[in-house]
């Protein structure tokens, strides 16, 4: 299972095996690496965090207890492997078993989610479509 720790006012920390597909649709098996993905939208090393969130007042106020569902546009799973796709000028789209946990140990579990990486969603960590106004 992919575990994603939500760092308050900082990045997503991914831990677990998943296939990552970048904006050019190049895939990579992460083999359990720990990776920090940007969610403030200001990194210079996209999709990864470069610490830019510390240069302004980025606030996450994650809402893991809210209801959240993505329409039925799932990604193709490879033998049950969790797939993480960076949508160009949009969220991280994830299909497969995953859990999100914040620093207060609130947990969200599911198998289909879009995570905001533009920094502007009003329902972080989830995407609410605000990226369409940002990018």
Residues forming the site for ligand FES (CB under 6 A)? 90-91, 116-118, 120-121, 127-131
What is the smallest separation between the CB atom of 79 and ligand FES, expressed in angstroms? 28
Choose between 1 and 134: whose C-beta lies nearer to ligand FES: 134
Choose between 2 and 116: whose C-beta lies nearer to ligand FES: 116
Backbone angles phi, psi at 55, to 5 degrees: -90, 0
Residue 56 neighbours by CB under 8 Å, 6+ apart:
40, 42
What is the smallest separation between the CB atom of 129 and ligand FES, expressed in angstroms? 6
Choose between 95 and 121: whose C-beta lies nearer to ligand FES: 121
The torsion region of residue 35 among left (phi > 0), alpha (psi -120 to 50) and beta comes to beta
The length of the chain is 135
Choose between 53 and 131: whose C-beta lies nearer to ligand FES: 131
Classify residue 131 by its DSSP letter. Answer: H
Return the structure tokens found at 134. 């940002």
What is the smallest separation between the CB atom of 77 and ligand FES, expressed in angstroms? 22
């Amino acid at each position: 299972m992919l575990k994603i720790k939500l760092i308050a006012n900082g990045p997503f920390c991914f831990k677990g095996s998943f296939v990552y597909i970048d904006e050019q649709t190049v895939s990579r098996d992460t083999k359990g690496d720990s990776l920090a993905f940007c969610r403030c939208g200001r990194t210079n090393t996209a999709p990864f965090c470069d610490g830019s969130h510390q240069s302004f007042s980025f606030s996450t106020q994650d809402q893991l207890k809210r209801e959240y569902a993505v329409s039925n546009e799932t990604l193709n799973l490879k033998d049950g492997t969790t797939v993480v796709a960076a949508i160009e000028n949009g969220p991280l789209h994830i299909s497969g078993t995953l859990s999100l946990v914040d620093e207060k140990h609130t947990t969200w579990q599911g198998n289909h989610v879009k995570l905001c990486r533009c920094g502007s969603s009003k329902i972080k960590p989830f995407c609410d479509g605000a990226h369409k106004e940002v990018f």
